[in-house]
Amino acid sequence: MKYALVTFGCRVNQADSAGLDGDLRAAGGRPTTVSDADLVVVNTCSVTSSADQSARQTIRRIRRGNPDARIVVTGCYATRAAEELSRLPGVEAVVPNARKEQFTADLRPLIASLPRGTGDGPCGATLETQPSSRTVQMLAVQTGCDEACTYCIIPRTRGHGRSRSFDDVLGRVRSAVADGVKEVVLAGVHLGSYGRDLTPGTSLQSLAQALDALPVDCRFRISSLEPMDCEPGLIDLVARRGRFVPHFHLPLQHASDAVLRAMGRPYTRDDYRRVVDALRDALPDAAIGSDIIAGFPGETAADHAASLDYLAGSPLTSVHVFPYADRPGTQASRMSSNVDVAVTRRRARELREVAGQLQQRFRHRAVGTVRSALTLGGGAAALTDNYLKVELAPLLPGNRLVDVRIVSTTAGRMLGEPLGAV
């Protein structure tokens, strides 16, 4: 059986696809390209209507390009609208998020009906995701969410918060490192709630401490974390120990307190500011990313100006800007005072301009510094601990942790030179 994985959306979906990849390999499958696959698994996102549209277009494209492939759809869109997806040509099965852990067991008859070939198939087409890179492993330690953000459909598609046990997480890390992985990224839908549902209860900080003490040759990265969950003890662990890299992603979503209340976000702009400033004080060279939404229902010109003002003076290093997209079934979709589409686009463009300045400032500040970095692919580039992608000269072997001096940044490209023997 030859299979391909196509993944949309967040790091949790990427982590889920890594698990599906392992399950399909264990069932005798071999990864290949979409055009050559017997089975294509599409792991969908449903955070916006455009994500749904992209998934539908991709499924139709797969069907046209490989009409013999059996298509299985999973993920958040599959959970929210299974019947809608099952009607698309070529879709053999729709698997909700709750059944991802039993994916190959549920699909055993389908998998058994596929060809059992030998030899190595081609891989590397741009469309599909090959999660087992033997370099970086996304590991979902938590899924689901019990928060009530008014714009978000994810609690309906992922369910209540659920955490993997300590033993499960540690075992998966050991397995990944034995497979050659040098960086493990902890992912979750509400990562900061890790352990609250376990008996006895525990926390993300406790898990981080256990991983920090684990005698394995890899580094750890924390995925997106709600600002109220970025506790001083966790910041201190990253600052003092070095196993966890100095990279945080703390979604702001808006810098107007009125809009934050309408969004159902449990903090104010000053709460967020205090967390980010404390993080910058403890880790001066850390990457601190964020998300922000433009054009939320009821957003005024003054609200938008508040976001521009905060971003411009903030220590953030990157910001993902999302124009508000109505998501039927959410509380926000029932709100009045929608912002005109053209106004939303203009505001998003203005926010992206500021975000670009923040990213450029961070890149320029990094020139001349020496950072720990992980070489990627064939060794022509490396990812620094503080999340900068640096092109290397000379080339190095892939999947090596090395020290790199950043020598220049031009037009979005950063160049670096390795230090010492590798």
Per-residue pLDDT tens digits for 275-293: 999 999 999 999 999 999 9
Q: What is the mean pLDDT of residues 222-236?
A: 95
CATH number at residue 390: 2.40.50.140
Residue 117 domain-assigned?
Answer: no
CATH number at residue 226: 3.30.750.210
pLDDT of the residue at 173: 95
362 & 377 share domain: no
Contacts of 144 by beta carbon, 8 Å cutoff, 6+ apart: 155, 158, 159, 160, 161, 162, 189, 190
CA neighbor of 266 nearest in space, from 316, 310, 217, 227: 227
Q: Report residue 44: phi and psi, to 5°.
A: -95, 160
Q: Could you say which DSSP state residue 87 is in?
A: T
pLDDT of the residue at 164: 94
Q: What is the mean pLDDT of residues 250-263?
A: 98
Residue 123 domain-assigned?
Answer: no
pTM as predicted: 0.84
Q: Which of 12-16, 48-52, 166-170 has the highest mean pLDDT?
A: 166-170
Contacts of 239 by beta carbon, 8 Å cutoff, 6+ apart: 246, 282, 283
pLDDT of the residue at 104: 86
Q: What is the mean pLDDT of residues 56-62?
A: 94
Residue 127 domain-assigned?
Answer: no
280 & 331 share domain: yes
Q: Which residues of 34-66 are buried (b: 16+ CB within 10 A; e: fewer)?
A: beebbbbbbbbbbbbeebbebbbebbeebbeeb
Q: What is the mean pLDDT of residues 309-317?
A: 97
Tokens at residue 215, please? 């005698």
Residue 375 domain-assigned?
Answer: yes
Q: How confident is the model at residue 126 (pLDDT cuts 50, 70, 90)?
A: very low
172 & 226 share domain: yes
Residue 221 domain-assigned?
Answer: yes
CATH number at residue 100: 3.40.50.12160
Residue carrying structure tokens 């992922």: 158
pLDDT of the residue at 154: 86
Q: What is the mean pLDDT of residues 67-74?
A: 94
Of 78, 112, 146, the residue that ends a domain is 112
For the chain, give the mean pLDDT. 90
Q: How confident is the model at residue 335 (pLDDT cuts 50, 70, 90)?
A: very high
CA neighbor of 44 nearest in space, from 7, 95, 71: 7
Asked if the model's pLDDT at residue 421 lies above 80, the reply is: no
Residue 124 domain-assigned?
Answer: no
Cα 194 to Cα 141: distance, rounded to the nearest angstrom? 7
Q: What percent of the chain has pLDDT over 90?
A: 73
11 & 97 share domain: yes
107 & 141 share domain: no
CATH number at residue 297: 3.30.750.200
Asked if the model's pLDDT at residue 385 lies above 90, the reply is: yes
155 & 214 share domain: yes
Q: How confident is the model at residue 135 (pLDDT cuts 50, 70, 90)?
A: confident
More confident residue, 378 or 122: 378
Domain that holds residue 172: 133-245
pLDDT of the residue at 18: 83
Of 195, 213, 245, the residue that ends a domain is 245
Q: How confident is the model at residue 87 (pLDDT cuts 50, 70, 90)?
A: very high
Cα 51 to Cα 56: distance, rounded to the nearest angstrom? 9
Q: What is the mean pLDDT of residues 65-86?
A: 93
Residue 119 domain-assigned?
Answer: no
Asked if the model's pLDDT at residue 322 lies above 90, the reply is: yes
232 & 307 share domain: no
Number of domains in the chain: 4
Cα 337 to Cα 228: distance, rounded to the nearest angstrom? 29
pLDDT of the residue at 116: 64
Would you call 12 helix, strand, or coil by DSSP? helix
Cα 181 to Cα 421: distance, rounded to the nearest angstrom? 21
Asked if the model's pLDDT at residue 120 lies above 70, the reply is: no
